[in-house]
Structure 1
Amino acid sequence: MHVLMVAAENDALPNAKVGGVADVVRDCPKALVEKGLTVDVVIPDYGFHDLDRHSLGVVNVAFAGHMQQLEVWQLAHSQKGVRQLVISHWEFSRHHGAVYCNDEAGRPFATDASKFALFNAAVCEALLQGLICKPDVIHLHDWHSACVALLLKTDSRYNDFSTLFLAYTVHNLALQGIRPFKGDTSSLEAWFPSLGYDGQKLCDPRYPDCFNPMRTAINLVDKIHLVSPTYCQEVLKPSDPVNGFFGGEGLELDLQAAYQQGRVVGILNGCEYPGDELSDVSFAHLYQHAESALFQWMAKTSELDSAHYIAHQRVLKFKTQPFSGPLVTSVGRLTDQKVLLLCQPYDKALVLDELCQRLKQHDGYMIILGSGDTELEKVMTTVMARQDNLLFLKGYAHFVGEYLYHLGDLFLMPSSFEPCGISQMLAMRAGQPCLVHGVGGLRDTVQHLETGFSFNGESLTAQSYELITGFTEALALKNADPKKWQGICEQAKNARFSWQSVADGYLSYLYQ
């Protein structure tokens, strides 16, 4: 079986990772190859000029009223049998290597939607011209690849490919890439003015005059994959954000219909074992890498960012005045999905303040690594200024994250929803138990009082209370019963979520 994966991210290539989808697109193809499949992966070329590669040819694509010329490249060296492809065009690389762009208020996804629509059209044209070999299965990832399904199923130019088996993985239903049907330079009819389509299948349920790529793929593909069994059930229910539940995000009716048709499967993502081998797992190296990252971030602007300044002062404090108690860690993007509960009000401050105060009772401290939403970054910075046992590193640095996984005592992941999650698997792999909200993939990977700790709650207030309670109880257990704590650490380290089992699931349930 030959599979073509189409995605926006791929951590097999340098600087092509933003979130967990990059890990999936890097690791899962290797497991499929081990099962005897042939796998090609294609993403946009974000400026990979220094890679050893050769051209497969040029495609000319009618897009937005003009003929666009794009080049298809193959990397010279495959990754464990996986053929790596990129498609280059000035539109993909003009944002200084950034995978995604932030648009002005009122035009969400505008730049990225146009960019990925062009990329998708180039993939289809490369298939038509034979520059990309015709596969048995095309595996699309998230809304960024949805226009491949749209074009293959509705554009008569691709009639010979209309029966190709299409699998679609939803990594995060909260991001759907919604754009207008028309009336904007970044709209479906602006990109493909001659395309005939059924608007009832493509429109957003909440905004009928808008094109919804996520919904389009859900309605057109053969199989839909949610990245954990629990998340697969959650998305069949409507979201209720006021009470802290995030489910179908407006697409629950489409997913219910697909589920009844047998087109929806829930397969948990995997993790590689062993992970990165660190030569010296020490706090000295952690602080060295943290300082180095801070200096690099500071150097990007002429004005000193207060978050970086306070963080550097805090690193110096941690180095010279070490704590005797536990280290609580957190690594991930700063989004409402990840930190909404930490930012809830509690006793004239925030939940995060309360966690720091309770941690201080054990002479413990917390390190948070991540960036994302500007307002949430400000919240983290102001809490760091108030709590002297909190270090917030605003950015991402690979080795800082790896040291935090290995050196931390308790990993904090209180996501309001989590399709699968990778950070908890990486922490567990390193023997660090996690405190998680019992939703989505977190529920499927962390077993309370066996491999970690979990909490629940029927409202935001209840979830905030249960988070603080669970945090307090976990710290108390570590202090009062070291033997049981060590047992939890060992069970976390021995838990396995292998890509081999994921590949088996794909072959049995997703690719047929």
Structure 2
Amino acid sequence: MHVLMVAAENDALPGAKVGGVADVVRDAPKALAEQGVTVDVVIPDYGFAFIERIYLGEVTVAFNAQPHVLTLFKVRQTQSNVSQIVISHPLFSESGTVYCNDAPGRPFATDATKFALFNAAVCEALLQGVLTRPNALHLHDWHSACVAVLIKFEPRYSALNNIHIAYTVHNIALQGIRPFKHDDSSLEAWFPSLSYNGQHLCDPRYPHCFNPMRSAINLCDKVHVVSPTYSQEVLKPSNYEHGFFGGEGLEQDLQNAAEQGKLVGILNGCEYPKLTNENADLNTLYKKIENTLFSWMSNHKQLQSGYYIAHQRLQQFKAAANNGPLVTSVGRLTEQKVLLLCQQVNGTLAIDNVCQLVNKYGGRFIVLGSGDKELESLFTKAMARNSNLLFLQGYGQGVGDLMYQLGDLFLMPSSFEPCGISQMLAMRAGQPCLVHSVGGLKDTVQHNENGFSFSGDTLAMQTSNLITCLDETLSIKKQEPQKWHKVKKGAEQARFSWTQIATAYITTLYR
């Protein structure tokens, strides 16, 4: 079997990772290759300066009513049965980043244009034989959805129509919605001669707009959601007042896919390499944090208050003896991840309640992450108020790895979580997790067995139950060491192996 994966991110290449999809696109092909599947992975070339390339060929596509020449390269590497391929064009590399931030009122405009051109190049390269025709085409998230649109509606690509297409929804909250026309970044601007069925492609809430994610859900042969529980949650409409995040407007299309037997819920996996920092201790972590903070500070002409407070707090942590629990959290700072920590509880924010509770047990709380500017500011201010909170505004791989390894309890109160990788990485390192029992978190963390979980029918209940569960959990650590050790062992022994997941891909997703 031969599979071609099309994605925006791929952590097998330097500088091509933003979120968890990059981990999947890095790891899934290796697991498939071990089962005899040949996998090609293609992403845009964001300006990769330090990779060895082998020229594959050029394609010319009509885009925005102009001919565009794009070049395909295979990345030189030793991995058997997996080929990493990049497509080069100035539009992909001019920003030097995977994603761009557009001005308010034009969401996704730059990226949608970039990925539409990339998708057209994938179709043309398949037609011309520059890319080998696969048995199955595996598209990831909205960034690759136009491949399905072009294959189904562009007569030029009708020869590709019988290729089996699987589509993975990694983040249903981001759908890449753009107008059908009257905009430089719109479906008819990109492909002016395309005859399409608007009923399949329009956004259910904004009928004058093209929704790439909905298009792929309707047009592909299989639709994959990245955990069994999440595949059920997305069949229901979201209810933000009650703190429920479901299909985000696409629930009807996903219900149709489920009725047709197209919808598949397969959990993402995790790799289990040998631990590299076996002798690491808190001093190792603190030294790594300090070096990382200095590195971040050096990137700015003026010292940011968040880095200054963090460095001062780090010195306090180093100076004071501490035998209490170390609570950790690693992840993007978005509403999805920290909405519950931003709720009001008796006149104060939940994040302050969490810090006070951790302090009650003589513990410390370290948060690593960046993202939404307002949330970064909120967490910086919370750090200033709470002497046991250290907020590290950024991402440092080495710091994150040590936090997984040395933390006592990993906090992941996501409002929704299609799969989640952070909880798997913490569990792999033997750190139990306290999670909101939704999506992939529900499928990986069992309460009082390999971790701890809470739920609730409203935002207020979820926040209250989070704080109650944290209190109970820290109490178990302090007063019931045998039970704690059993849960810790359960976390360490849990396995979400890519081998099993690759088998599920082959048997249910690619057939």
Q: TM-score, normalised by structure 2?
A: 0.99
The alpha-carbon distance between structure 1 residues 473 and 279, as it changes in their structure 2 partners (threshold 3 A), is: closer
How far has the Cα of 1:275 moved from its partner?
5.6
| Counterpart Cα distance in 2 of 1:349 and 1:70 | 54
Structure 2 contact 365–389 (Cα < 8 Å) conserved: yes
Q: Map 1:36-115 onto structure 2 (within 5 A).
A: 36-96=36-96, 98-115=97-114
Residue range with higher mean Cα deviation, 324-333 or 287-296: 287-296
SS at match of 2:351: helix
| Counterpart Cα distance in 1 of 2:279 and 2:165 | 45
Is 1:18 the counterpart of 2:18? The answer is: yes
Is 1:290 the counterpart of 2:289? The answer is: yes
Residue range with higher mean Cα deviation, 220-229 or 314-323: 314-323
Q: What amino acid maps onto 1:56 in structure 2?
A: L
> Which segments of 5 or more consecutive residues in structure 2 lack a partner in the other structure?
none
Structure 1 contact 329–408 (Cα < 8 Å) conserved: yes
| Counterpart Cα distance in 2 of 1:243 and 1:275 | 42
| Counterpart Cα distance in 2 of 1:305 and 1:314 | 14
How far has the Cα of 1:279 moved from its partner?
5.4
Partner residue of 2:222? Answer: 223
| Counterpart Cα distance in 2 of 1:420 and 1:445 | 9
Structure 1 contact 276–402 (Cα < 8 Å) conserved: no
Partner residue of 1:424? Answer: 423
Partner residue of 1:8? Answer: 8
| Counterpart Cα distance in 1 of 2:176 and 2:163 | 24
| Counterpart Cα distance in 2 of 1:188 and 1:4 | 24
| Counterpart Cα distance in 2 of 1:80 and 1:326 | 44
Residue range with higher mean Cα deviation, 285-294 or 421-430: 285-294
Partner residue of 1:194? Answer: 193
How far has the Cα of 1:102 moved from its partner?
0.9
| Counterpart Cα distance in 2 of 1:166 and 1:409 | 43
Structure 1 contact 43–85 (Cα < 8 Å) conserved: yes
Structure 1 contact 428–492 (Cα < 8 Å) conserved: yes
Partner residue of 1:151? Answer: 150
Q: 1:453-500, CA deviations, whole angstroms, 9 ceiling, x for partnerless residues?
A: 000000000000000000000000000001110111011000000000
Residue range with higher mean Cα deviation, 296-305 or 199-208: 296-305
Is 1:377 the counterpart of 2:376? The answer is: yes
> Which segments of 5 or more consecutive residues in structure 1 lack a partner in the other structure?
none
Q: Map 1:251-270 onto structure 2 (within 5 A).
A: 251-270=250-269
Q: 1:267-309, CA deviations, whole angstroms, 9 ceiling, x for partnerless residues?
A: 0111001265225422222122212222222222212211111
How far has the Cα of 1:509 moved from its partner?
1.0
Is 1:445 the counterpart of 2:472? The answer is: no
Structure 1 contact 78–84 (Cα < 8 Å) conserved: no
The alpha-carbon distance between structure 1 residues 211 and 275, as it changes in their structure 2 partners (threshold 3 A), is: farther
| Counterpart Cα distance in 2 of 1:364 and 1:166 | 50
Partner residue of 1:240? Answer: 239
Partner residue of 1:510? Answer: 509
How far has the Cα of 1:93 moved from its partner?
1.2
Structure 1 contact 61–69 (Cα < 8 Å) conserved: yes
Structure 1 contact 12–79 (Cα < 8 Å) conserved: no
The alpha-carbon distance between structure 1 residues 178 and 275, as it changes in their structure 2 partners (threshold 3 A), is: farther
| Counterpart Cα distance in 2 of 1:92 and 1:474 | 47
Partner residue of 1:164? Answer: 163
| Counterpart Cα distance in 2 of 1:368 and 1:377 | 11
| Counterpart Cα distance in 1 of 2:128 and 2:277 | 46
How far has the Cα of 1:80 moved from its partner?
4.5
The alpha-carbon distance between structure 1 residues 275 and 228, as it changes in their structure 2 partners (threshold 3 A), is: farther
Q: How many residues align?
A: 511
SS at match of 1:340: helix
Residue range with higher mean Cα deviation, 450-459 or 73-82: 73-82
Partner residue of 2:493? Answer: 494
Structure 1 contact 335–376 (Cα < 8 Å) conserved: yes
| Counterpart Cα distance in 1 of 2:210 and 2:311 | 45
How far has the Cα of 1:78 moved from its partner?
4.2
How far has the Cα of 1:321 moved from its partner?
1.7
Structure 2 contact 257–263 (Cα < 8 Å) conserved: yes
Partner residue of 1:33? Answer: 33
How far has the Cα of 1:54 moved from its partner?
1.1
Q: What amino acid maps onto 2:171 in structure 1?
A: N
Structure 1 contact 275–429 (Cα < 8 Å) conserved: no
Partner residue of 1:412? Answer: 411
Is 1:127 the counterpart of 2:126? The answer is: yes
Structure 2 contact 204–250 (Cα < 8 Å) conserved: yes
Structure 2 contact 37–81 (Cα < 8 Å) conserved: no
Partner residue of 1:211? Answer: 210
SS at match of 1:367: strand
Q: TM-score, normalised by structure 1?
A: 0.98
Q: What amino acid maps onto 1:341 in structure 2?
A: L
Q: Map 1:275-314 onto structure 2 (within 5 A).
A: 277-278=276-277, 280-314=279-313
Q: 1:120-153, CA deviations, whole angstroms, 9 ceiling, x for partnerless residues?
A: 1111111111111000000000000000111111
RMSD: 1.0
Partner residue of 1:179? Answer: 178
Q: What amino acid maps onto 1:95 in structure 2?
A: S
| Counterpart Cα distance in 1 of 2:293 and 2:112 | 32
Q: 1:310-336, CA deviations, whole angstroms, 9 ceiling, x for partnerless residues?
A: 111111211122422000000000111
